[in-house]
Structure 1
Amino acid sequence: MPKPEYVVGLVLVGCVLLTWFCGNLYKHLLEAYEQTGTLTDSEYSWVFRLLLNLVGYSTILLPGFLLYKYLKKSNYFDKIANTGRVYKVLYACFGDHAERLPETTKLPKVEESSHTESMELAFCFTGLMGAYLVWGLLQEKIMTQNYVMPDGSLVRFDDSQFLVFINRLLAFIIAVTHLLYTRQPLVMAPLYKFSYCSLTNIISAWCQYEALKYVSFPTQVLSKSCKVIPVMLMGKLVSRNKYSAYEYVTAMLISVGMVLFMFGSHDDYAVSAATSASGLCLLALYMACDSFTATWQAALFRAHPLRPPHMMAAVNLCSAALAAAALAHRAAAPRTLLLQHPVFLADCLVLSASSALGQLLIYRTIARFGAVVFTIIMTLRQAVSILVSCAVYGHAVSPRGALGVALVFAAVLLRLHCRRRAARTN
């Protein structure tokens, strides 16, 4: 019988060859798409770009899945001694037994902050408001405004996948730096378990950026208030959760408010039924994927001794790898713009930094003050984002659209009030 090390070596070579084959298939499909004007100029070209992205992701996901199935079926980790770099890498990616992780996985004690609770709350509030206001404005600028190149030509950035990659890469670097600085272990759970929410995370982020080509930023921000509906559905399907009457009522009010706003805005985006349909489909896909991401991350927190930086590092590592696979054979236009236009480079860096800072502050706020306080802060942030975007970029909203905005946020605040009352009575 051949040694398990040799067998897994052959399997790894096979995975590399499969990655090469999938990569070449993706390259040819991408070239065919770019050369077909009918597809690139279509109102629904985002569908083909999304399918191409999924083929790009498969260059990592498919070989990884086959390697995972082999390791589990052959009981590789039970047959091989805990030695060698290959074993450690494979165990970090696919090992299941937490007790076999290195002894350094014991979590260090966290010292309490010396600030008062009020100062801490003020810090979290201002940090979240500032980080996500900057992120929202730059997101809209990058996806909707033209950049003047050195030769005087105007270029509009349109590669959402590249923006997702830059965001996830910087967030991963920040999370790993934090873990190293605090001397916490880097791996607390098998990395393959993060691939599920990483896939939905980058799809939702891609849809979020892509939707700005079809709908206004206020419409996109307001749609996030409707995430309560897919979250409830996901909770019903995945976790068998039960909800109170007020939760169904407020979810319905949010939906009505969103419809009023969508049909009460007067942006140039709504120039055709196809454009509006594309924007709605992208927003719906964004909310569905984002809801699954949050549900799966909550399950991982319950199953493993994770802290927020561990989740942030693992998810962003997998997301950056998947996005890089989808970008491997793309044209160099985004990178050329990144290198030749200092303003675009600065916008990307600040956008990514504000997104990463926002993630850290989200986890900190929830850990210190609970989900209710965090939701109130983010609701206020969404309202301010809409007002700032309307003021900066001149989005027009009719009285009916303004009524829709007011109805959505009133429903969210009513939901928070009812939840707090229910918590007090229990």
Structure 2
Amino acid sequence: MGLLPLDSNSVAAQEVALLWSDFWLVRLIFNFVGYSSIVLPGFILIQYFKRRKRLDKDHGVCFPLVQACVYGNEKAESTEDHNMEFGKAEVAESSTSQQALRLVICIIGLQVSYLTWGVLQERVMTQTYGEGLSTGGERFNDSQFLVFMNRVLAFATAGMCCLVTEQPRHGVPMYKYSFCSLSNILSSWCQYEALKFVSFPTQVLAKASKVIPVMLMGKVVSKKTYEHWEYCTAGLISVGVSMFLLSRGEEIKHSSTVTTFSGLFIMASYILFDSFTSNWQDSLFKYKMSSVQMMFGVNLFSCLFTVSSLLEQGALFDSLAFMGRHVDFALHAVLLSVCSAFGQLFIFYTINHFGAAIFTLIMTTRQALAILLSCLLYGHHVHLPGVLGIVTVFAALFIRVYARSKVKKNSLRSLPPAQKI
């Protein structure tokens, strides 16, 4: 029996279904469905074990796993004590020249890792692969697969570091990593997905301006108070971002309303998820853990969430098939993961040895260089008002770093000598 030809209505219906399946909101919903296959059973199990008054060691081989995942270890040593002892020993062994060399290595490592990551991110999400083939080239669309690859390598790297270096005894219940893990993969997904709707310079400036909603959230929710210079720098950032966006008014005018709304909504979602991730991680550091242990725990759950969602959608094998068809994409995806994993290690090392102010200064410089590099490589045109807007944003960020370091030094000087140790 021969196949019946499809009528025009059937073809149109298939095209509409394919179009909707590629829409970012639909794929985000599918991602949530995939994550729920891990979250819901995990929630039920955790509640079951928490309702039990105690666990006996006679329960066999499952006891250590349940203990680590649900209850944690209350006898773990203090991370602050561990880091203090480690820091004292390191300072005693290090000369000024050695510290300067380490700082240079951190600067180079962070800049190379994240500048390369930014260039590759824009290449993968905005350009086509296989243009010289008969197919005419195709674009990779599954942001979640890239997040999965990044997290797998970061998980393996953190695991190796935990094995070969001395770590404090772990204390936090493992399930608590899942909250910031979920928000972390969602923020990463939004970061990749946003490049389909906004330019890379716009995305970088939006990320740089997240200090504004963070301050608003702190004011409304936590009743925090801020200094005058914090309000001034936040205002400068908003002025700079506005100047940049207004300078690109013609591009925005020619884009559709749906595209503009999608880009703004995804970037706002990124800022929301990323702000939650950092705040939840800060709360977890009150437990007894190191930064590498944090990296291991977060990426462990990230791997579980993303692989379950990819398998349920059938996207894992489609993405692997895309890698098989385009070797250059496979190389780019692997390099993205390498840059992400080593970038995280450089972040932890820099903060631990040189403080958050130096790290923020390095990363702020990196964001400015990333915009310049993106404009040179991918031909983004920025008019003079946009350039002034970019300069205003990063000048405000540098002022924030300088002001915070001065405030911290003044507060340390006001303390008695015994409390400065």
Q: Smaller-chain TM-score range?
A: 0.7 to 0.9
The answer to whether residue 129 in structure 2 is matched with residue 147 in structure 1 is yes
Shift of 1:266: 7.1
Q: Distance in 2 between matches of 1:69 and 1:248?
A: 43
Q: How many residues align?
A: 385
Match of 2:390 in 1: 405
Shift of 1:262: 2.2
Shift of 1:346: 1.2
The answer to whether residue 165 in structure 2 is matched with residue 182 in structure 1 is yes
Q: Distance in 1 between matches of 2:400 and 2:337?
A: 32
Judge which range, 61-70 or 246-255, deviates more.
Answer: 246-255
2:188 aligned to 194, 199, 205, which one? 205
Q: Distance in 2 between matches of 1:301 and 1:90?
A: 21
Shift of 1:83: 5.7
2:241 aligned to 249, 252, 258, which one? 258
The answer to whether residue 285 in structure 2 is matched with residue 301 in structure 1 is yes
2:206 aligned to 204, 211, 223, which one? 223
Report the CA distance shift for 1:312/1:36 in structure 2 as closer, same or farther (over 3 A).
farther
Match of 1:50 in 2: 28
Q: Distance in 1 between matches of 2:353 and 2:187?
A: 27
Q: Distance in 2 between matches of 1:149 and 1:94?
A: 51
- Contact 2:72-2:174 at 8 Å conserved across structures: no
Report the CA distance shift for 1:125/1:94 in structure 2 as closer, same or farther (over 3 A).
same
**Which blocks of at least 5 consecutive residues in structure 2 are unaligned?**
1-12, 412-421
Shift of 1:82: 6.3
The answer to whether residue 65 in structure 2 is matched with residue 89 in structure 1 is yes
Q: Distance in 2 between matches of 1:360 and 1:308?
A: 9
Match of 2:276 in 1: 292
CA RMSD after TM alignment: 2.5
- Contact 2:177-2:297 at 8 Å conserved across structures: yes
Q: Distance in 2 between matches of 1:53 and 1:43?
A: 12
- Contact 1:149-1:155 at 8 Å conserved across structures: yes
Deviations 1:184-214 (A, max 9, x none): 4785421110111011001000000000000
- Contact 1:44-1:278 at 8 Å conserved across structures: no
**Which blocks of at least 5 consecutive residues in structure 1 are unaligned?**
1-34
Shift of 1:97: 4.0
The answer to whether residue 317 in structure 2 is matched with residue 335 in structure 1 is no
Aligned-pair identity in percent equals 44
Shift of 1:147: 0.9
Deviations 1:349-370 (A, max 9, x none): 1111111111111111111111
Match of 2:7 in 1: none
- Contact 1:257-1:407 at 8 Å conserved across structures: yes
Report the CA distance shift for 1:201/1:267 in structure 2 as closer, same or farther (over 3 A).
farther
The answer to whether residue 352 in structure 2 is matched with residue 370 in structure 1 is no
Question: Could you tell me the TM-score, scaled by structure 1's length?
Answer: 0.84
Please tell me the residue identity of whatever aligns with 2:207. Answer: K
- Contact 2:158-2:296 at 8 Å conserved across structures: yes
2:330 aligned to 345, 348, 352, which one? 345
Report the CA distance shift for 1:359/1:239 in structure 2 as closer, same or farther (over 3 A).
farther
Q: Distance in 2 between matches of 1:36 and 1:87?
A: 51
Match of 1:135 in 2: 117
Shift of 1:50: 1.2
Please tell me the residue identity of whatever aligns with 2:57. Answer: A
Match of 2:105 in 1: 123
